A and B are shown apart, each in its own frame.
Chain A
């Protein structure tokens, strides 16, 4: 199982772009990279998923370098409501086993 390493916490201000980087040095060939957002006392919510290069949706962008040993979640113009814990997961869905790390607690300040 590919282990992930993320910063424990980050602070930002409203309107700024936030980049959260995740390290996954032993990622396997068939592994995807997925990011989730979790608010207190709620289940995590899927944000974005990618395999390589760049993926963008209406919420975020995901940047994955060629060696795939890391990935960066980019949140454009954050607001107070983006204060949450963000998890990076690596794995292959065919095996249906994903393990969550400690995540990054993002605190957005006014």
Chain B
């Protein structure tokens, strides 16, 4: 365990479904992130939260909706996704001038 916990580990959903990914960290970090990793592609930064405030939305489609209720929890709400949204979704956290701590990710398959 890295200290960043993501649930569920695997998720299969239909294009009309609504689901949520959860990320939790108890490392005392003040920044949290969502990254998307598609097959054979670099990690793509999606959202950044600093002290619960969203500071970055990297042109992500509105069918992805993040929520950060406190500095320890981060959600990614999903609705009406497309098959091309199938990917590994990674959550990370960080504190000041130090590296990211990543979770193990959620493997999402949209059918």
A contact residues vs B (CB 8 Å cutoff): 32, 34, 36, 41-46, 49, 87, 93-94, 96-103
CA distance A7 to B2 in the complex (A): 28
Question: Chain B residues with Cβ under 8 A from A93's Cβ?
Answer: 94, 96-98
Cβ of B20 < 8 Å from any Cβ of A?
Answer: no
Closest to A30 in B: B97
Question: Chain A residues with Cβ under 8 A from B107's Cβ?
Answer: 41
Contacting residue for B104 out of A42, A94, A96, A99, CB 8 A: A42
B contact residues vs A (CB 8 Å cutoff): 2, 4, 31, 33, 35, 42-43, 45, 48, 50, 55-56, 88, 90-92, 94, 96-105, 107
Question: Chain B residues with Cβ under 8 A from A42's Cβ?
Answer: 102, 104-105
Q: Check A101–B97 contact: CB distance below 8 A.
A: no
Question: Chain B residues with Cβ under 8 A from A34's Cβ?
Answer: 99
Closest to B50 in A: A96
